[in-house]
Structure 1
Amino acid sequence: MSETEVDVFISGAGPAGLILAYSLARLGHKVFICDAADKAHPAFPFYGRATTLFPRSQETLDQLGLFDDLAQDAFISGESIAYKNGQPINRAWNISDRAIGLETTFFRAPLNLRLKYSEDIFRNRLRELGVVVQAPLKLKTFDLDSHDHLVISSCERPNGECIKIRSRYIVGCDGGSSTVRQIADIPFIGEKKTDYWVRMDGVIRTNLPEARKGVCAIETDTHGNVLWLPLDHGATRIGYSLRAKLFEKYGIQMTAEQAIYEAKQALQPFDLDFERLEWYTVYGIQQHVAATFRHRERVLLVGEAAHTHSSGAAQGMNTAVQDVASLSWRLSGVLRGWYKDAVLDNYSEERHESAEELIQSDKTISMLMSGKKPDDMKDRTESPHELLSQFMRGRQAALTSGLGISYPPNLLNDVGKSIQNHQLLPGHRAPDALVQKPGIASITTRLFELTRYDAKFRLLVFTGLPKHTMSDLQSLRRQVNDSFSRFDRVCNLVTIVLGHGAAFDEHLGVQRFGTGCWDPDGGAHAMYGMDTTAGGLVLVRPDDIVGLVVPFGDFKPVSEYLERVAHAEKVLEAKESDLIGTATGTGQFLGQNESSPAFSLLPS
């Protein structure tokens, strides 16, 4: 038996496992990832499965440096249309044109790329970091060693070869039948519905108008709310419900020929012919959530190992992406000794609540798509199709896009110490905005491009107009010098300077805080609800969630926040030899970097 020792062992190399492995490896951690199926093998059957990434997931993957590769082959369109009896109707249920928060992101249309291709990209990028998925290799068992605080896992290849993995943590990314969850004996609470759906991908011929425009919903009395979705490489996905009579006729063993026949029936009066069927599946809807996403400290669950639901709102991979974004910075920080263990408990709390909300909405969506009314809508006179269109608006649109996902006040979302009744709410996603980097005329940059995913918090300093905020900026500089150096390793500073000038420090009259960028038209200040005469501070979590919003004069809550979640570094008092001289006109530079407690830039 061979042995290996790593920081994190990931069981399951679907999208959740691959993205988590990539994120952790990118942050410098040693990971081991395996899967029972060798999906990279040339002989492995083609698969479609998860295909749609909504705005927040695209934004997250862009932060990780993965979006551009996905976008090259994807079908990206925010257009939508709906048909009934062959006629267009104003009931399209695509979220892009009505999702709350679209004005705060630059990813505004769904991206469709089948899982085969996205997983190939994730595997290749992971390989570039020196991590190769071990497959086929199946987890057989694991134990927690209380003596050395390690997880001891045993895996086996089909030929009987065994591998022992010693890791600080084990993460189950191994789907709805998760071996990790079962070995840990974590209850999987929920139900298997009696509804069955068909999904099929292929290259087709049709007289459906604007067939490659975007997502299309076709309302039927026989096949539920039929999905028509243009995909990558010229393919299209068709999805429909196997209602009671159809399921009685075909059952779960429905053949490809039968699936094609019923797809043609579902699309009438439009014609449909398959030039090539590339993949199809018949599956029963399951809606479950694990009792906890963290077990005995060192066992964690992500993606469908933690929660399962229908594909009705295309939330499977999107939810997994947000699980990874929420977990990987915490796991990395705890492994490095940056963050306190409580942040991992907070992962389970926040994402469990989010999964519960998702499953509640999925129960409604899946029933309506199957042509049935949920109990709380039985007395409504509208058809299931009409109710679905209504349900997919407003709050649900924001949740589906991912931009409206939020978390309640807790360890990381400090509502009590934040400015009350502010535009930004702790626990909600931070908006993206356009800024300018110095020296690059007339070209804007997204703020999120300056703040890539690095497992660190970001303190955004919105300066306001320096003529109004000069004294506050000077006070902030003193406070940063006095107390912030303890948190250098866990928090980056970014100064968003209102206006434009030749040099940040001269423009402000004080040394900028961390990386500087210009906000020439005030758009970034407005996006973050910052008064141009007052400015302010926004502490953003590593997963782009607002943690705290305070005015310049109230820096203490920032330090208290970071003290709650991070292990502060001990800082030695500066010596006289640290002083490096004077900057004429704008003040004194004391110390070699701004986080040194001996650094100051005050008026002469």
Structure 2
Amino acid sequence: MSNSELSVEHVDVLVVGGGPVGLITALQLARNLPRSTHKVKIIEKYAKSSQDEYGRAITLYPRSSEMLDQLGLADTLAQQCFACRQTANYDQHGNEAEGRGWAFMENMKDSKWDFALVLRQKYQEDIFRKALAKEGVQLDAPYALTDIKILDQVAVSGYKIVATIEHRATKIKSLIKCRYLIGADGGKSFVRRAMNIPFDGSSSEDKWVRIDGVIETDLPKPRTYCAIESPTHGNVLWAALDHGATRIGFAFTAERQKAYAEFNEEAAVKEAIASVKPFSLKFNQVDWWTIYVVGQRIARSFFTNDCVFLAGDACHTHSSGAAQGMNTGMHDAVNLGWKLSLVLQGLAKPNLLHTYEAERLPNVQKLINYDKDISRLMTMQLPENWTGDPNADPNEILGTVMAEAATFSSGLGIFYEPDTYLNIQQSEIVSEVQAGQRAPDVVLQKPATFEGTRLQTETPNTAQFYIVLFAGDVAITKNALASFTESMATHSSLHDSNLPVQRLSIFAGPGGPSAYETLGGMPFGRVFYDENHSAHQRYGIDIEKGAVLLLRPDGWIGTVVGLDGNAAGKLERYFGKFLNAVASSKRGEKL
């Protein structure tokens, strides 16, 4: 059958891959785009029964949980998860060695989600699929992408892509014409290969085994994130899982491999028991096991032809040593989701999409560099470029490396470099937070009821920006507030109903009976109180001066400006760089 005879479907975005990254990306688009004018499609190569197997990724770190919370998903995940706040590390003799291994996880503070949210991917995907279905989008499976054609003559944001998909059971083919295509189809990504994007890096000779199940043991602290320093199996992972299960992970050295003509479940159980010595281990039930080669690879491009994206394992793979795979993919999905939503609605210029690679690539490279060292150390090898004591204990060095990477691993310290586009640092502003950094979550009080809430609860990720006025002590900042309010009134573009922006005011001090009376006029957007000044202090904002923060939809800080008559102009220039609503209202004016 020729292409002219195949059925054709037009969609705005085709997401390839039904894992967590693809599902979260599709969910954001489905929520943010009007169903009457836009269509999102997501396909998965394997049948749902294959996707329901156990295993694969298990851990979400605090920043990932925060991002999912801002998408309204974290509470549901928490209902089923194992919330891990405790770690343990045992040397080869079974003695506990403090401060090594996963010890950094006990110091993941500055977040409501101050723990490792452990929930196997099987259960996470089920939650994400149900949320996506509520938005009117079903995961279509089993469909394989078999061909991609880019129509160069079609303008950016037009139907530039013709994708051929095939139902794997019936072998019936059809065509999908789309404006954008997102490859979230794993380490062997068809999208990446079809677009001829090099996948730089290498695989090592090291093999690791992971096995999940219900166990019995005499390990003193079995319901923890634990490391056992085995002389035969490397730095062994012991992770308490959801539903009372446990994961054991270990290095399967070349020497150990010689004992097996075939490595099967029985062999995996036998090696797992040997890996945790001197502790005992018995499997009452095996849910899943796997063996894989350790390596690190990164795609040379995350965005190509102005219309095709890669996300998650499709553009970066590494070991599971630091448990970062799904977390990094979540950062990809959230970074891309709001940007593509705004462009598809015509609210933002297509150039905004180029910031996806510009922001994500440096952070992925940091992860790859950490992972190279961590994966070698977990296999009892010193890092490749090690210049220290050649006889150093890899377990001690591993503890140091993981401690150094702690804020990156938790995600709370991940930042995007200041630039002149999305993360604009104003030189005159001195605060604890800077453009490109995560906006810290802080406790606030609602007006009238004084009910407690949090900043991240009040700033959900709906592809909208938030202008957050830290008003300070109103009795002192009253004149500055009046100057700011007057300047905002004179910039008509900031009042455009199409502008994807919401407004919040945070007053330092206890709330009064009326926000209007506290301010002496109508407040700037929704009002909250910072009773003990802790929010102002966490942001490093002087309550006698105040400041205006611009929060991006994904919860990172776009810019911070002074509370004065120049603030509105700076905000307008910020938005004018990439939002069409502001740019059109200021046509002819240099931004």
TM-score range (shorter-chain normalised) is over 0.9
Aligned position for 1:361: 370
Whole-Å separation in 2 of the counterparts to 1:177 and 1:423: 42
1:132 partner letter: Q
1:256 partner letter: E
Which consecutive residues of structure 2, in runs of 5 or more, have no partner in the other structure? 1-5, 586-591
Distance 1:44 1:359, change over 3 A: closer
Find the partner of 1:256 among 259, 265, 268: 265
Aligned position for 1:318: 327
Aligned position for 1:128: 134
Whole-Å separation in 2 of the counterparts to 1:400 and 1:332: 28
1:27 correspondence with 2:35: no
Paired residue secondary structure (2:283): strand
Write out per-residue CA displacement over residues 104-151 of structure 1, whole angstroms, 9 at most, x where no aligned residue: x21100011111111111111111211111111000111122344311
Paired residue secondary structure (2:10): strand
Write out per-residue CA displacement over residues 400-420 of structure 1, whole angstroms, 9 at most, x where no aligned residue: 000111111224444442435
Write out per-residue CA displacement over residues 489-518 of structure 1, whole angstroms, 9 at most, x where no aligned residue: 222111111221112122112321111111
Does the aligned pair in 2 maintain the 1:429–1:546 contact within 8 Å? yes
Distance 1:461 1:45, change over 3 A: closer
Does the aligned pair in 2 maintain the 1:98–1:393 contact within 8 Å? no
Paired residue secondary structure (1:177): coil
Aligned position for 1:93: 102
1:280 correspondence with 2:289: yes
1:495 correspondence with 2:500: no
Whole-Å separation in 1 of the counterparts to 2:410 and 2:29: 25
Find the partner of 1:469 among 477, 490, 510: 477
Aligned position for 1:201: 212
Write out per-residue CA displacement over residues 154-188 of structure 1, whole angstroms, 9 at most, x where no aligned residue: 10012211121111100000001111111111111
Paired residue secondary structure (1:185): coil
How far off its partner does 1:55 sit? 0.1
Aligned position for 1:48: 55
1:120 partner letter: D
Distance 1:535 1:255, change over 3 A: same
Whole-Å separation in 1 of the counterparts to 2:351 and 2:75: 34
Does the aligned pair in 1 maintain the 2:57–2:120 contact within 8 Å? yes
1:407 correspondence with 2:389: no
1:514 partner letter: G
Find the partner of 2:18 among 13, 16, 21: 13
Aligned position for 2:400: 390
2:394 partner letter: P
How far off its partner does 1:536 sit? 0.5
Whole-Å separation in 2 of the counterparts to 1:26 and 1:74: 25
Paired residue secondary structure (2:490): helix
Aligned position for 2:3: none
Whole-Å separation in 2 of the counterparts to 1:415 and 1:142: 37
How far off its partner does 1:220 sit? 1.0
1:217 correspondence with 2:235: no
Whole-Å separation in 2 of the counterparts to 1:330 and 1:546: 15
Which consecutive residues of structure 1, in runs of 5 or more, have no partner in the other structure? 573-604
Larger mean CA deviation between 304-313 and 418-427 belongs to 418-427
Aligned position for 1:245: 255
How far off its partner does 1:557 sit? 1.9
Aligned alpha-carbon RMSD (Å): 1.8
Write out per-residue CA displacement over residues 546-586 of structure 1, whole angstroms, 9 at most, x where no aligned residue: 111111123122111111121125999xxxxxxxxxxxxxx
Aligned position for 1:111: 117
Distance 1:354 1:487, change over 3 A: farther
1:372 correspondence with 2:378: no
2:216 partner letter: R
How far off its partner does 1:26 sit? 1.2
Does the aligned pair in 2 maintain the 1:170–1:299 contact within 8 Å? yes
Whole-Å separation in 2 of the counterparts to 1:560 and 1:550: 12
Q: How does 1:131-530 map to 2 (within 5 A)?
A: 131-148=137-154, 149-150=158-159, 151-158=161-168, 159-212=170-223, 214-250=224-260, 253-377=262-386, 379-380=388-389, 381-394=391-404, 396-441=405-450, 443-483=451-491, 484-486=494-496, 489-499=499-509, 500-530=511-541
Does the aligned pair in 1 maintain the 2:429–2:561 contact within 8 Å? no
1:506 partner letter: E
2:128 partner letter: F
Write out per-residue CA displacement over residues 180-213 of structure 1, whole angstroms, 9 at most, x where no aligned residue: 111111111111111110000000011111211x
Does the aligned pair in 2 maintain the 1:487–1:569 contact within 8 Å? no
1:373 partner letter: L
Whole-Å separation in 2 of the counterparts to 1:570 and 1:220: 61
Whole-Å separation in 2 of the counterparts to 1:493 and 1:18: 30
Write out per-residue CA displacement over residues 229-256 of structure 1, whole angstroms, 9 at most, x where no aligned residue: 01011100000001221234347x5111
Aligned position for 1:566: 579
2:245 partner letter: A
Could you tell me the TM-score, scaled by structure 2's length?
0.92
Paired residue secondary structure (2:105): coil
Distance 1:128 1:415, change over 3 A: closer
1:2 correspondence with 2:7: yes
Does the aligned pair in 2 maintain the 1:225–1:370 contact within 8 Å? yes
Whole-Å separation in 1 of the counterparts to 2:460 and 2:555: 10
Paired residue secondary structure (1:170): strand
1:124 partner letter: K
1:56 partner letter: R
Would you say how many aligned residue pairs link Structure 1 and Structure 2? 564
Does the aligned pair in 1 maintain the 2:576–2:582 contact within 8 Å? no
Aligned-pair identity (%): 39
How far off its partner does 1:341 sit? 1.8
